[in-house]
Amino acid sequence: MNLIEACVDAGCRNFVFSSTCATYGDHDNLILDEDTPQHPINAYGASKRAIEDILKDFEAAHGLRNVIFRYFNVAGADPEGEVGEFHQPETHIVPIILETVAGKRDHVTIFGTDYPTPDGTCIRDYVHVCDLVDAHIRGLEWLKADKASTVFNLGTGHGFSVKQVIDNASMITNQTVPIMIGERRLGDCTKLVSGSTRAKEDLGWLPERSNLKQMITDAWRWHQNGSYTH
């Protein structure tokens, strides 16, 4: 709210917002597009949905035009290995797996193996961070061209299960990934996969690096270099 109000006060009328596919909630066996009803089932998705609504209100009241990007799962790293993904605490699956391979964790916990999916684990759509950067530049150009406020899903349309991500990481690093089976986590959706082509058709966006092998390979390169430290 402080940032949005500051933009209005400063005369900035173009706002690109990082939202999330978690605003949709759990739609089993449904491919998600921008018109899918939003029923978030966790606080993160609900908070992003709230800001989306606030942006719509501020456009109506103050002319603050916006592009909203609903990310699917972001992964990967700078291909040169200079910049990568690092959170404290880490919550994202690819860096958690690679931290385990690097010996910084004892194991990877799989939260639930009884989901209605082929291997029983959750399925997610993954997008490379470099493709995400490209989308943001295109979103800003969209607004600078005086085009209408729009929502775009940023995903590939291809989902991978937790076990598939672990198996691919094991193959790329040539190491076994120790796992532990845990209970389901409250608020985890069974499957989140984008079915939208709006970003491609309207922005000309193509997620060129967003295949699982490339994302894990780039992330592993960063984990192996000297930049990755605690």
Residues with a catalytic annotation lie at 44
For residues 75 and 26, the answer to whether their CB atoms sit within 8 Å is no
| CA-wise closest residue to 155 among 189, 206, 201, 83 | 206
φ and ψ at 8, to 5 degrees? -60, -45
Measured CA angle at 21 (ends 41, 219), to 5 deg: 120
Residue 53 burial (10 A CB sphere; 0-12, 13-18, 19+): exposed
Cα 71 to chain centroid, rounded: 4
Q: Is the peptide bond before 40 cis (omega within 30 degrees of 0)?
A: no
Residues found in the chain: 230
